[in-house]
Structure formats: structure tokens, C-alpha cells
Amino acid sequence: MKRWSQSDTIAAISTPIGRGAIGIVRLSGKDALSIADKIFLSKDGRKASTYKTYSVHYGWIVWHHASNTENSRHKTPACPAGRHDTGRKIIDEVLLTVMREPKSYTKEDIVEISCHSGILVLREILDLVLASGARIACPGEFTKRAFLNGRIDLCKAEAVMDIINAKTRLALESGVKQLEGFLADEVRKIRERLLEIIVVLEANIDFPEEEVGPADKKAVNKNITDAAKRINNLLNSAKHGKILREGIAAVIVGRANVGKSSLLNALLKEERAIVTPIAGTTRDAIEEILDLKGIPLKIADTAGIIEPRDLIEKEALKRTRSYFEKAELVLLVFDSSARLTREDRQLIKKAKSKTTIAVLNKSDLKAKIEEAQIKKYFSNMVRISCLQQEGLKELEEKIIQSVWRGEIGAAQEIVVTNSRQIQAFKNARDVLGRAGDSLKGNLSIEFIAEDLKLCREHLGYILGEAVEEDILDKIFSEFCIGK
């Protein structure tokens, strides 16, 4: 990947491309204001470079013939009163926002041009900005500059991406907490505790005549134990962080005509899947994302085909199996008004190795199903009626309990959300454990001090200290252009 230069002024469209009320073109860098001077015609006649920080100004983005002859094919729109100039063409009526360094998102001069949203007008303005001296920003480059300029640490930078990608309220709250610095503050506290231990050990190394006494060893061991506990608590939050970040893959399975599509519609509270009394109506998997009390549930309704009769059903069965294999949660639906069939028993055998909730649909009809047979394999069972909208709240609670395993993980203030952080915490924990073993084994304090320093390095990596350039490139490449 091409290395990014911070000496350039960068620009990008920061809002989704398409029709809308407002679109924004953002600039950041030392030439942002001088570029704005070239293209912004203010109503008050002042240049953008004279404006105070955190100020918004009304005017027009204009194109000048003299410096942009290649665009001479454009027709000249009507100019504002008192602004007519045959050597100038107006692209759009805008609001221009100025944010001067160092108190801006990137700690550089930032200019944001709020215009009418539309593919043509946004691209016209961006092209004009680029022709005036800026270059197009790489994905995530605005946030990378904020990190490199010391405005945010890497935890907060990654939190920005979590906020952008949040699919539920809990995921959003988790991202906001990380952006506020909850995780970074906890990491810094652990590193400070480790530094206290290192200072004691280094003093003994420098002055060997002063031996480490029992009281000092006890204090060192206490600090190591405390740091290890804090790291383990953060690692224990990783499962919840992964759920909030990526969601849970769930699949609705069952033989034909047991009410799988009805269940999907009931959970979504909308008519997403076609429902008919005809068996086999669903011939392909339908996937949706459901916000279930903060849990992003990626739920798929699959075809109820056990033995395919044609090529279409063969492909449908193949996709059903694929969803089933990837699923972290299975909702196995039965028709409670009928006895278990051979197809039901086949599905029970396949689902018993998964985290499964047995869903007995059509509870409004007389029960004929052998519940005892189902309870042999699945401790989680719930009776519902999609037709009467009964039992759905209980099903939702069982899903939540299955996901959180009875823990109140969703309420944690500090949640580790990505694999980079998880690996760094694991490395820190392992090195810290080795230091603790060395202390108990009365090994040389030099070894203990070196392990504690290495532990601090692993924790510093979480904050973005000494992170390789290619790792940073990978992290920020996942951002959208303009952020």
C-alpha cells in the first residue's frame, strides 16, 4: 500500500453519494484555507483564510475560467446579485465551515463545504478542490492523521469505526464509551501499576547491596496479581465485544410448513418472507439483521427441504446446510400440532451439537408432538403461536440468555472489540504470568523486570505505541473515504 504523506492537503466526499438534502466535501491540511480562498465566494466578500475557527459562512463555490479552461464546456448559471462575472461560473450555493488547527479533528486546518447532495455537484466540487492543490484522501486518512498527530490513541480510532458500523443501540453505546477513553484509561492504569513495580526492581538492580526484602516481594506480587486480574477481566469482555461488533449468526431450520417464515416475520415485526399453506414456499434462504435488545442477530430463514426433487431444491438445500454449519444459534422449529416425523428426527440429530432452541409453533392448536423426546436433546424449549403472536417475548428472552450465557455482559463499560486488541492482551497476560512465576521461583529480578517491560510494550501496542506502518495501513483501510 502507498505510504501516506502528512505534508499534503487531503480532500474527500464525507457523506454517502446519492440524492439527499446535504452533502459534505472535507479538506484537511496546511493548504485547506488557501484552497478555500480560490474556490469560495462569500456573501460578505471576505476570504476563507480570514475567518475565525469554528465559524460557518454562506456563499458559493465558483470555478474560474483563467485557471480551469478544461471545464469551459459548462454552462454559466445565474450568478447571485452583485456577483456577476463572465470569467466565473458558480457550481453550487454552500455553507463553508472553518476549523483551525490544533483544535480540529485532525489537529490540522479543516474546511468543510456543505452543499446540495447529489453525485454531480459533489464530484464537481471535489474535482475543483483537487485541481486547486489538494489530493484525494485514502480510506480512513482523516482519522489516521488524528491518531498520528496525537489527538486520539489507536483505541479511540478503532472506536470511530465501531460507531460507524454499529447495528444496535448497545453496539453504539459500546463504541461511544471507547471513544470517550474507557478502554484506553484502563490500559494506562495497568501500565502505571507495572511501572511502579519496574521502578522498585530497577532500583535494586542499580543498587544490588539493597536486597529485595519479603515486604517488597509481597508488594510486587500483589501488583502483578492485580494487573493480571485487570487484563483477564478485559479478555473476558472480548466475547461480548465480538457479539456487539459482528453480531450472532442465527438460523431458522425445520421441515417444510412448520412456520419458519412466519417466525422470521414475527421476530422482524414485518412481512419479510412469503407465507402460504403450501409446503416448500421458501426455496432460498432469506437473511436479515434483527436488533434484539442490543444484540445484532443475523438471522436466516432457510428452505424446509430434506430431500431435493430438482436442481433448484438441491441448490436450496446446499445453502441451508451452509447457513446451518456457520450458525452460532439454531432455532429448530416444530409443528406442535403434529407428531414428530422422520424429517424432524433427522434435524434433531443435526442440531443437538449446536446451541439450539427448540421452538414448538402452532401452540394455538391441540398439541400432539412428543415433547419428552425433544427435551432429551434440548434444554431450551419454548411454545409459540406465530398466528396468535403468543410466546414470542419468551423466545426472545431465551435467545438473549443463550447469547449472553446468563452474564450481564452487555452492561459492561469496558469491552474489548477486535482481534488486534485481544491478541495484545493475551500476549501481555502470558508475559505477566511468566513474571509472576519467576518471582515465586526466586529467579533473578532482572528476568522479572524485563518481562514486566515487555508486558507494558504489549499494552502500549493497544494504544498505538510502536505499531508497524503496515498494521496501521490495514486498520485505517477499513474506514470509508472521508472519515
pLDDT in tens, 213-246: 555 778 888 889 999 999 999 998 887 887 888 7
- Taking phi first (over 0 means left), then psi (-120 to 50 degrees means alpha), and beta for anything else, what does residue 108 get? beta
Q: Print the domain residue range for 315.
A: 249-409
d(Cα 337, Cα 368) in Å, to the nearest integer? Answer: 5
Residue 332 domain-assigned? Answer: yes
Of 133, 151, 169, which one is at a domain's C-terminal end?
A: 151
pTM of the model: 0.72
Which H helix or E strand runs over 5? none
Q: What CATH number has the domain bearing residue 45?
A: 3.30.1360.120
Please tell me whether residues 110 and 130 are part of one structural domain.
Answer: yes
Q: How many domains does the chain have?
A: 3
- In this structure, which amino acid lies at residue 357? I
Same domain, 230 and 261: no
Residue 480 is assigned to a structural domain of this protein? no
Q: Tens place of pLDDT for every residue, the chain, 483 residues?
A: 445 567 899 999 999 877 778 999 999 999 999 999 999 999 989 999 999 999 999 999 998 765 444 443 334 344 454 454 556 789 999 999 999 999 999 999 999 999 999 889 999 999 999 999 999 999 999 999 999 999 999 999 888 888 888 888 888 888 888 888 899 999 999 999 899 888 888 877 766 655 555 557 788 888 899 999 999 999 988 878 878 887 888 888 888 888 888 888 888 876 554 444 444 444 456 778 888 888 888 888 877 555 555 566 666 667 777 788 888 899 999 999 999 999 899 889 988 888 999 999 999 999 999 999 999 999 899 999 998 999 999 999 999 888 876 554 444 567 888 889 999 999 999 999 999 888 888 788 888 899 999 999 999 999 998 777 877 887 888 787 777
Do 398 and 259 sit in the same domain of this protein? yes
Is 348 found in the same domain as 299? yes
329 plus 378 within the same structural domain: yes
- Taking the CB of residue 96, how many other CB atoms lie within 10 A of it? 22
186 and 114 assigned to the same domain: no
Same domain for 427 and 399: no
What's the CATH code of the domain at 437? 1.20.120.430
Going by DSSP bridges, is the β-strand pair 10-13/20-28 parallel, antiparallel, or unpaired? Answer: antiparallel
Residues 18, 147 within the same domain? yes
Do residues 289 and 213 share a domain?
no
**Residue 405 and residue 353 share a domain:** yes
Residue 146 lies in a domain: yes
Strands 135-136, 10-13: pairing kind: parallel
